[in-house]
Copies of this chain bind each other. A is one copy, B any other.
Amino acid sequence: MTTNSACSLIDMETLERIAPIIRHTAHPLRLRILDFLSSQDEPQTVTAIIEACKSPQAIVSQQLRILKDQNVLTARRDRNHVKYSVANNNVLLLLDCIRRH
C-alpha cells in the first residue's frame, strides 16, 4: 500500500469546469480587453474597447461575446450603448501572473 504523500490534488470536476474559462481567456486580444477593462473604474462601451484594442469592430465584438459566455465579463445596456465590465475578479489573477513575467 503505497500511501500517496500529497493527497490534496484539485479534483477533476473542478479542473474541467475552470479550464475552459482560462483557455478562453488566454487569447491576446481577450487578455488585452480584460486588462483594459480592469484598468478603468467604469464599465466601458464597445467603442472605447475597440479604440483601446485597435482592432476591427466585428472581431472585438466576437471576443466580448466569448468572454461574456464564460461569465468573465458582464454587459449592460445604457441608452444606445452597451457597457462591459469585469464580472469575475478571479480571472484578473491571470493578468497578475503575466505581469510578473
Contacts and interface: CB of A to CB of B under 8 A. Distances in A.
Interface in A11-57: 12, 14-16, 18-20, 22-23, 25-28, 31-32, 35-36, 39-40, 52
Nearest to A13: B28
Interface size class of A (residues with CB under 8 A): 35 or more
A77 B66 CA distance: 42
Chain multiplicity (copies): 2
Q: Give the dominant DSSP class at A's interface.
A: helix
A98 B25 CA distance: 14
A78 interface: no
A79 interface: no
Contacts of A25: 22
A40 B6 contact: yes
A93 B95 contact: no
